[in-house]
Every structure is written in C-alpha cells, then in structure tokens.
Chain A
Amino acid sequence: MNARDQDEKLWRYLGGQPATPGFSEMISSNPAIARRLAELALIECAIREQATRDSGQKIISRRRTVLLSGIGAFLFVALASVGVWRIANQPPPVGTPIAVESDPETRDLVAKIQEGNPVKVSSKPLKMAFSGESTELAFAPDSQVQLRETPSGGKEVQLDSGKLNAQVSPQKAPLKVVTPHLAVEVVGTAFDVDVDEQASRVLVSEGIVEVSAKGLRSPFSLPAGSGWRQNAGGRGFSVATAAFSNRSPTINESIDSLWSDHPSHPNTFFGEADSPVHTSDADHSSNWKALWTEDALYVLIEVKDSEIGGEENAKVWAKDSVEIFIDADGSRGEKFDGINDYFLFFEPGVAAITPGVGAPQPKPEMTHRTLRTSDGIRAVVRLPWAALGISPEDGMTLAFNVASNDSDPADGKERSQLSWTPKFKDDWSRPNRMGVLILQGPDSN
C-alpha cells in the first residue's frame, strides 16, 4: 500500500469509518503508521481551530461590503439622479479606516488595512483615522500591523512589533490592541503600546485601559499615568509615570495640595509572604504618588491600617512600615549594584531611614516624614537626585517599587505586604524584578 492510499485509509477512519481488526493490527504493529495517524489528527484539529478563529474575526472590509450592499438600492437611485461624479464624494461608512495623509504610499497602506491584510509600515510613520469618529492611531516606522473587526463589532489592532500611539474616541464596542505578549481593551482613551521581541509595554495617558497578560491572573485596569510591561518569558511589571513639578511639595503634617494633580498608584499585589493575613481594605491597603523637580524625586505613600500592631517585632519590615526600592539609573541588575540601588524602609515616628538587608546605607540628604494618621500611615519621602547620583531628564526610566507592611496584633504574627509591582520571595534584593517609573516633563507635564 502506498503512502497516499494509507493516508486515505487513515482519513476515512478519522472521519468515522469503523476500524476493522486489520486496521487495529496495522496501527498497533507499525509505530510509523500510528505516528502518521497522530499527525493527521493534529492537522485536522489545527485546521478546524484556525477556521473557527478566523471566522470569529470578520474583517472590516466585509462589514463595509455588507453595509454598502444594504444601501445599494439607495445609492443606485442617487447616482442616477446626481451623476457619476458624486461616487467619489460618498463618505465611507462610520468606523472605516481612512488615511490622515493623502500621499499614495499612505493611501495604499490604509487600503490594505481596510481589507484586513497585515501590513508593515514603511520608513515613514503611518497615521490612520476612522470615518465618523475622532479616533486616531499613529504607528511608528516598521511597525507590523493588522486590523480586524471583533465579533462584537469593535476594532482589533494586532501589533506584532513597533509602536502605536492611540487616541481613541468613545467606542460602541471596546477597541482591542493585541501584541504577542499582552492585550488591552479601551472604550475611549489615549495610550501608547511598544512591542519588540522581548516584551510589550502599554502606557496610559488618559482614561482607563484594561490589560490582559501572562503575568496577570485576571484583566487589570490601568488608569492614566500607569502601565504594564509584559516580558515574553512571562514576568510582568507595573509601570508608572512621575510628572515634573516646578514647585517642591512641603514635607510636614498635612498633604500638600500639589499632590492632587498627580495620579495615584495602588499597591495591588501581595508581596513576599506565602500566606498573607489580610481581611479587608480597611485592615490594609495602600497607594502612592510620585513627582519630580530639578532637585529631587518625591514620593507620597498613604496606607490604610485599622490596627496598630507589630511593636514586639524587632525588624522594621515585620512592623507597620512602608518601603521604597529605587535603582536610579534603571540598570536593573540581578543584585544591588552598590552605586545607586537603594532599598529603604520608613517607620512612623522614626526619623532614621532603615536600609534593607544587603542594600547600601541611605544618604543623609534623603529625608522623609512618616507618621500615623487616623486610619493608617502617611509618608512623604524626598530623594535628591544628587544623592541618587543621576541627572533627571524627560523619558528617563528608573527601576522602582513601593510596598507597605501591615503587622497585627502587637506580636505581629498576622502580617501582609502589599506591593505595587508583582514581588515574589527574594525579589526584594533584585533590581531586575522591580517596576518601571518613567520621568515625564518638564515639557510633557
């Protein structure tokens, strides 16, 4: 029996034809044929899955065709009465991708995108709008892009590499951006997505974006000023921006009104502890803000903690406290570099800053005011650039994290730690496991 006949026999079996004893014998006595049957079954599944996936992603051009045919009769009458020249002036259906610039190259790329084809942006950035709405997508040169329509009628942008700046007006169905490492959904906002082989990063500048990624157990809401970086290997990091301020905030008993202009970042992840004891947000929750001036980085940390505890514990991290990790030059090494990596603990009512185990001593110029409030702890921290050994500038990225420690009751046996970026056992000593803080301004403030 030749290979073609053998395959035909195997296909008929997979299609439901009962196996004869001879067929079973052929499979059991010949591993190569068993292997071939397995290969054919795999290809059958792969084809069906691909077909199902594709049919769930009707391309926008199809929608356009349906819309056009639906109003075909109307168009016919209209064209007959007003003349053929009006054809070119018919506005495309709402939501149809259109080129912002009218050069032939851009028009050609957008035409391919309209048809649902994958395109590679040339050496010139591509700006694309959508008829009937103010959404604008700007792709950097060499970005690889494909546009589809989702089953719910929304737009889905597949960005395999490159950069996207999106200004999205309110949508009936969420606009999705999918990269090899993460997916984001928005209904009306502004954000940037960067993709390369190693990672994808989304950064939100307005509104709220929902991100799904391997490093997250469930979709995660990102407000303005925050983001997410997802590495191909699976590790995900929180991202935030710190805006420039012409004025330094005061460091005293009350909160400077200056902070109200800056976004707050919640510490969402349980850090370090295997079995955190955490009963409610009143028991323990925390968030932080950051801003920078020409002289220093300022961080405000606010903690809700309904019970003072942990006084019997000797170590600061086992008491009610807050902590900041900073790798000022963003070198993200495997361990503290001894140059500008700091791991700092702040305890209410204690003027001194305690360094983490193995971390450098804090510089005397680093100051803070950490106190108990009616419902928890508040810390304002000043970290001068000179002490950190860097000169700040717009767009600079620092490795950064903030965490809060809650210890209850007095013996401190019920503890939880909340961290801004995902933080696992021993990550506290690893700069490459910290989140990303991006300095913005002065121009972009």
Chain B
Amino acid sequence: MRELPSNPDAPRDFESLVSEHRRGLKAFLLTIVQDYHLAEDILQESLSVVAERWAAGEVRDFWSFSREVVRRQALTAVRKMQNQPVSLSEEALESLQAAFETIGQDPDESRTLALRGCMQKLPHRWLKILNLRYWESNKINAIALKLNIHANVVSVTINRAKSRLADCVTTSLATRRVQS
C-alpha cells in the first residue's frame, strides 16, 4: 500500500495538536462538569466534532476553537445528564476560559515531566497517601482504615499534596519558559 508521508513542515497536523492540548481541554472540562470520568467522555465527543471541522479546513486556531467546542459540549452534556443547570455562572465560565487560554498552552509532556520531578519533593507520607488514592485506586475511607487516621485527614492531605504539586509544577514550567 502506498502512502503520503506525514509532512512536518506543513501546518501542524491534527493528531499532534490534540496530543499537545488534550490535558488542557480535559482540565477545562473538569472545571465545568466536576467529574473526571465524565470530562474524559465529553472530551472524546468534542474532539470528534473538532476533527470534522478541522478536516473541512474551518479551524484556524486549534486551541481557541477546541476550547469553545469543549465548553459547548460540556454545557449541553451537563444539562442533559443531570437535568439541572451548570453550577458556574456564565461570567465565571468566561473567566475560566480566559485562565485556560494561557496556562493550558504548556504542552502536556512538559507538565508531566515537571510533575514527576515535583512528586519527588513531596513529604513521604503525602506521597504514600497519593499513591494509595490514585495509583492503587483506594477510596478515601479505605485509606483512612489502612493508615488508622480520620477520613477527613486523608481528604485534606490529598488536597494539600495536590496544591503543593500545582505550585511546584507552575514554578517549574515558568522557570523553563524563562530559561528557553
């Protein structure tokens, strides 16, 4: 079978743009639908919409266009599935969309690398709790039982650990941008 080669000199191809911005779009969805798994599902649907428009040559700015599609799909999905209005006001959504315009632009791979480095700096106990929660998929109560602490302490520790990671990753990405 013959094939047309993939041209790196051509304007960015769809797959690489998706790969670069997938997490930013998913995070934006998460802030609207407040459910990680639902955000993943809606992201798939949204990207198929973007793909169609991309193929038709209607997309000039992938990042802006995708954010708008994601937002509309999320609002539709939440209204349909929960039969209730979205929690955030229209103005708050606008504000969030603006926030993602800049910080969501860092390629996913840079954020992943930064995250790995930042995790090494967490206190051992925090890392252990994060591992139990996300890597071993334990529920909060199960972790509390295992570690013989109150469930609320587990929740708060997880949130503090993630906040610490967010600070560290943000600083790390900013440093890299300055250095480059």
**Chain A residues within CB distance 8 Å of chain B:** 4, 7-8, 11, 13-19, 21, 23-25, 27-29, 31, 34-51, 54-55, 214-218, 233-236, 268-270, 276, 278, 285, 418, 422-424
The answer to whether residues A41 and B31 also contact, given A4-B160, A422-B5 and a CB cut-off of 8 A, is yes
Closest B residue by C-beta to A15: B34
Q: Could you say which of A21, A35, A38, A49 contacts B28, with CB atoms under 8 Å apart?
A: A38
* A76 vs chain B, min Cβ distance (A): 28
Q: Is the CB of B115 within 8 A of A46?
A: yes
**1/0 per residue B85-123: CB within 8 Å of A?**
001110110111011100110001001100110000000
Known contacts A11-B163, A37-B31, A45-B39; can you find 13 more A-B pairs with CB under 8 A? A19-B87, A23-B88, A28-B91, A31-B98, A40-B162, A42-B24, A44-B30, A45-B36, A46-B108, A46-B111, A51-B134, A214-B16, A270-B4
Q: Could you say which of B6, B134, B162 contacts A215, with CB atoms under 8 Å apart?
A: B6
Report chain A residues within 8 Å CB of B35: 16
Q: Could you say which of A23, A38, A278, A418 contacts B27, with CB atoms under 8 Å apart?
A: A38
10 tightest A-B CB contacts, nearest first: A234-B8, A422-B5, A19-B87, A28-B91, A24-B89, A41-B27, A27-B92, A51-B134, A24-B92, A34-B95
* B97 vs chain A, min Cβ distance (A): 9
Report chain B residues within 8 Å CB of A38: 27-28, 31, 96, 99-100, 103-104
Per the bound structure, the CA–CA distance linking A276 and B98 in Å amounts to 44
Report chain A residues within 8 Å CB of B4: 217, 269-270
**Chain A residues touching B, majority SS:** helix
Report chain A residues within 8 Å CB of B87: 13, 18-19, 23-24
B159 adjacent to chain A (CB < 8 Å): yes
The answer to whether residues A218 and B31 also contact, given A27-B96, A47-B134 and a CB cut-off of 8 A, is no
6 A-B pairs (CB sep. < 8 Å): A47-B115, A54-B135, A235-B8, A269-B2, A270-B3, A418-B2
Report chain B residues within 8 Å CB of A8: 156, 159
Per the bound structure, the CA–CA distance linking A46 and B161 in Å amounts to 13
Per the bound structure, the CA–CA distance linking A45 and B6 in Å amounts to 30
Q: Could you say which of B30, B88, B116, B130 contacts A41, with CB atoms under 8 Å apart?
A: B30
B71 adjacent to chain A (CB < 8 Å): no
Quick check: which of B48-56, B57-65, B143-151, B165-173 contacts chain A, the rest being far away?
A: B165-173
Per the bound structure, the CA–CA distance linking A39 and B169 in Å amounts to 9
Per the bound structure, the CA–CA distance linking A15 and B31 in Å amounts to 10
Closest A residue by C-beta to B158: A11
Q: Is the CB of B5 within 8 A of A28?
A: no
Per the bound structure, the CA–CA distance linking A24 and B96 in Å amounts to 10
Per the bound structure, the CA–CA distance linking A402 and B94 in Å amounts to 55
Report chain A residues within 8 Å CB of B98: 31, 34
Per the bound structure, the CA–CA distance linking A140 and B13 in Å amounts to 35
Q: Is the CB of A217 within 8 A of B36?
A: no
Report chain B residues within 8 Å CB of A29: 95
Q: Is the CB of A28 within 8 A of B94?
A: yes
Per the bound structure, the CA–CA distance linking A268 and B111 in Å amounts to 37
Per the bound structure, the CA–CA distance linking A35 and B98 in Å amounts to 8
Which of A25, A43, A217 has the most chain B CB within a 10 Å cutoff? A43
Per the bound structure, the CA–CA distance linking A319 and B124 in Å amounts to 71
Report chain B residues within 8 Å CB of A216: 5-6
* B22 vs chain A, min Cβ distance (A): 9
Q: Is the CB of B92 within 8 A of A28?
A: yes
Report chain B residues within 8 Å CB of A48: 36, 134
B7 adjacent to chain A (CB < 8 Å): yes
Report chain A residues within 8 Å CB of B91: 24, 28
Report chain B residues within 8 Å CB of A28: 89, 91-92, 94-95
* B39 vs chain A, min Cβ distance (A): 8
* A347 vs chain B, min Cβ distance (A): 23
Q: Could you say which of A34, A40, A49, A217 contacts B5, with CB atoms under 8 Å apart?
A: A217
The answer to whether residues A37 and B96 also contact, given A13-B34, A47-B162 and a CB cut-off of 8 A, is yes
Q: Is the CB of B162 within 8 A of A11?
A: yes
Per the bound structure, the CA–CA distance linking A19 and B96 in Å amounts to 14
Per the bound structure, the CA–CA distance linking A16 and B99 in Å amounts to 20
Per the bound structure, the CA–CA distance linking A40 and B165 in Å amounts to 9
Per the bound structure, the CA–CA distance linking A34 and B89 in Å amounts to 13
Report chain A residues within 8 Å CB of B23: 42, 45-46, 49
The answer to whether residues A11 and B159 also contact, given A34-B92, A34-B98 and a CB cut-off of 8 A, is yes
Q: Is the CB of A14 within 8 A of B30?
A: yes
* B11 vs chain A, min Cβ distance (A): 12
Q: Is the CB of A43 within 8 A of B115?
A: yes
* B70 vs chain A, min Cβ distance (A): 12
Q: Is the CB of B31 within 8 A of A14?
A: yes
Which of B5, B162, B163 has the most chain A CB within a 10 Å cutoff? B5
Report chain B residues within 8 Å CB of A233: 8
Report chain A residues within 8 Å CB of B96: 27, 34, 37-38
Per the bound structure, the CA–CA distance linking A405 and B88 in Å amounts to 61
Q: Is the CB of B99 within 8 A of A45?
A: no
Per the bound structure, the CA–CA distance linking A15 and B162 in Å amounts to 13
Per the bound structure, the CA–CA distance linking A18 and B2 in Å amounts to 54
* B1 vs chain A, min Cβ distance (A): 8
